[in-house]
Amino acid sequence: MQKNVLDILINADGFVSGQEISEALGVSRQAVWKAVNSLKSEGYKIESVTSKGYRLVSYPSHINEKRLKNLIKNRIIGKKLIVLDSVGSTNDYLKRLGNDGCENGTVVCAREQTSGKGRLGRKWQSKKDSAIAFSVLLRPNASPSEISSVTPLAGLAVCTALRDFTELDCLIKWPNDVIVGNKKIAGILTEMSAEFDAVEYVILGIGINVSQTSFPEEIAYKATSVLLETGRHFDQNELLACVLHRLEDVFTQTNLSFTPSASDEYRRLCATIGRTVSFKRGTRRISGTAVSVSDKGELEVMLSDGSICLVNSGEVTVQGIY
Ligand code: BT5
């Protein structure tokens, strides 16, 4: 009922009277009034004028299922969409759906995560409605070694969507953190379920800081949000739809591995290139200069003797960026 009323308001050119809505839906004016009130309580601004009826003024800026479903035009990613008010971790929730056979491209998104996960057992923190937290399940027809570029490609998609949507100068900290200046605005956690030679599914968990005005003390020096950087409030639904659209573009155009144009674009936006980096090999810590990113997504680091070392996983510390 609420959705039907919303659809009418979205498609109306200006005011629609309560009478018109009740006739179109075959319900009482009282029922229309109730539906309008519950839409208002969800954050929709609806003007009501006695002689004219109702007019949709603005949408809630936080994640809202109806609004998001209206915005997503993808064929695969987000075609099946689950929006939750609160969940432990969208990745864990989607993993359970993945094990039960959910379709390629399923997206789970939540207004709040109570135990959001970072990589290597770390925590991802975001308060309710202040950030976008979602996970995408992909079922590539490939072996684990053939999909090593999935994570950097997701980083590229999030980075370019944020650049276009917010006009911020977002860059990528290899392999897939999205940064503005030297602070992180988005992070990605990739998890996979695979047999030795076949991937069952990949889950890309993506957190984007949108409306935070501050961060807990321990991460304040390295975290930022779209609001802090631009001073503007963006609609989380439009931003998420834009990111999902970009993910679909990137993954349908690349078949999950770097194409020459995707790797060129990745290198152009990679803030790690040209910087001094250090990483662990066994028990040793090695330093060098990041010189490029290979077509498989590996970081190419030049060591002091001029040799090139390829880094494909693990933690890399970048001088000058958190
Ligand atoms: C990441 O890990 O950056 C991956 C973050 C993935 C989050 C998404 S949200 C949807 C999905 N469901 C989940 O449960 N997770 C995914 P990592 O590179 O390990 O960074 C984690 C570190 O970043 C933490 O140890 C903090 O230092 C810092 N951090 C935590 N919350 C942050 C935030 N909101 N913004 C910036 N930095 C943060």
**257 and 291 inside one domain:** no
The pLDDT assigned to 271 comes to: 97
Give, using CA atoms, the residue closest to atom 29 of ligand 1. 124
**100 and 186 inside one domain:** yes
Tokens for 286?
């090695």
The mean pLDDT value for 203-228 works out to 95
Quickly state the pLDDT bin for 85 (edges 50, 70, 90): very high
| Contact call for residues 188 and 157 (beta carbons, < 8 A) | no
Counting from 1 in the atom list of ligand 1, the atom nearest the Cα of 126 is 34
Tokens for 125?
């923190």
**10 and 155 inside one domain:** no
Quickly state the pLDDT bin for 229 (edges 50, 70, 90): very high
The mean pLDDT value for 180-209 works out to 95
91 in ligand 1 pocket by Cβ < 6 Å?
yes
E strand or H helix that includes residue 90: helix 90-99
Quickly state the pLDDT bin for 301 (edges 50, 70, 90): very high
The pLDDT assigned to 79 comes to: 96
Give, using CA atoms, the residue closest to atom 15 of ligand 1. 117
116 in ligand 1 pocket by Cβ < 6 Å?
yes
**118 and 178 inside one domain:** yes
pLDDT digits (tens, 9 = 90+) for 10-69: 889 899 999 999 999 999 999 999 999 988 887 788 999 999 999 998 877 899 898 899
122 in ligand 1 pocket by Cβ < 6 Å?
yes
**214 and 98 inside one domain:** yes
189 in ligand 1 pocket by Cβ < 6 Å?
yes
Give, using CA atoms, the residue closest to atom 23 of ligand 1. 124
pLDDT > 70: percent of the chain: 100
E strand or H helix that includes residue 7: helix 2-11
Q: Is it the case that residue 219 has pLDDT exceeding 80?
A: yes
Distance (angstroms) between ligand 1 centre and the Cα of 260 equals 29
Torsion of CA 104, 108, 114, 119, to 10 degrees: 40
Letter for the amino acid at 133? A
The closest of 120, 89, 124 to 222, measured between CA atoms, is 124
Quickly state the pLDDT bin for 171 (edges 50, 70, 90): very high
The mean pLDDT value for 73-92 works out to 97
Quickly state the pLDDT bin for 306 (edges 50, 70, 90): very high
The mean pLDDT value for 307-313 works out to 91
Q: For residue 296, what are the domain limits?
A: 276-318
The conformation of residue 143, written as its DSSP 8-state character, comes to -
The mean pLDDT value for 105-110 works out to 98
The rounded distance, in Å, linking the Cα atoms of 6 and 28 is 16
Counting from 1 in the atom list of ligand 1, the atom nearest the Cα of 219 is 27
**Mean pLDDT computed over every residue of the chain:** 93
**139 and 255 inside one domain:** yes
Distance (angstroms) between ligand 1 centre and the Cα of 252 equals 26
Give, using CA atoms, the residue closest to atom 2 of ligand 1. 118
Q: What is the CATH number of the domain that holds 49?
A: 1.10.10.10
Of 237-241, 281-285, 307-311, give the lowest mean pLDDT range. Answer: 281-285
Give the distance from CA 243 to its chain's centroid: 6
Q: What is the CATH number of the domain that holds 74?
A: 3.30.930.10
Give, using CA atoms, the residue closest to atom 3 of ligand 1. 187
Give the distance from CA 225 to its chain's centroid: 13
Q: What is the CATH number of the domain that holds 306?
A: 2.30.30.100
Total of domains in the chain: 3
First CA to last CA distance, the chain: 49
The closest of 155, 119, 148 to 297, measured between CA atoms, is 148
Quickly state the pLDDT bin for 95 (edges 50, 70, 90): very high
**219 and 304 inside one domain:** no
The pLDDT assigned to 61 comes to: 84
The rounded distance, in Å, linking the Cα atoms of 258 and 293 is 11
Among 251, 269, 287, where does a domain finish? 269
SS3 content of the chain, % helix, strand, coil (to 5): 35, 30, 40
Distance (angstroms) between ligand 1 centre and the Cα of 187 equals 5
The mean pLDDT value for 153-164 works out to 96
**251 and 126 inside one domain:** yes
Beta bridge partners of 286: 279
The pLDDT assigned to 208 comes to: 98
Letter for the amino acid at 199? V
Distance (angstroms) between ligand 1 centre and the Cα of 79 equals 26
**195 and 292 inside one domain:** no
E strand or H helix that includes residue 2: helix 2-11
Counting from 1 in the atom list of ligand 1, the atom nearest the Cα of 119 is 19
The pLDDT assigned to 43 comes to: 75
Give, using CA atoms, the residue closest to atom 25 of ligand 1. 122
Instruction: For ligand 1, pick from 114, 119, 124, 226 the residue to mutate: most ligand atoms within 8 Å of CB.
Output: 124
The closest of 202, 4, 182, 2 to 94, measured between CA atoms, is 202
- The Cα-based distances of 282 to 286, 307, 313 in angstroms read 10, 18, 13
**100 and 146 inside one domain:** yes
**126 and 179 inside one domain:** yes
- Where helices occur in 191-299 by DSSP H, the ranges are 217-220, 226-230, 236-254, 260-269
SS3 of residue 178 by DSSP:
strand
Q: Phi/psi at 261 (nearest 5 deg)?
A: -75, -35
**179 and 211 inside one domain:** yes
The rounded distance, in Å, linking the Cα atoms of 139 and 102 is 10
Distance (angstroms) between ligand 1 centre and the Cα of 178 equals 11
pLDDT > 90: percent of the chain: 75
The mean pLDDT value for 69-77 works out to 95
Residue 189 makes CB contacts below 8 A (sequence gap 6+) with: 91, 117, 118, 119, 124, 204, 205
Among 37, 58, 79, where does a domain finish? 58
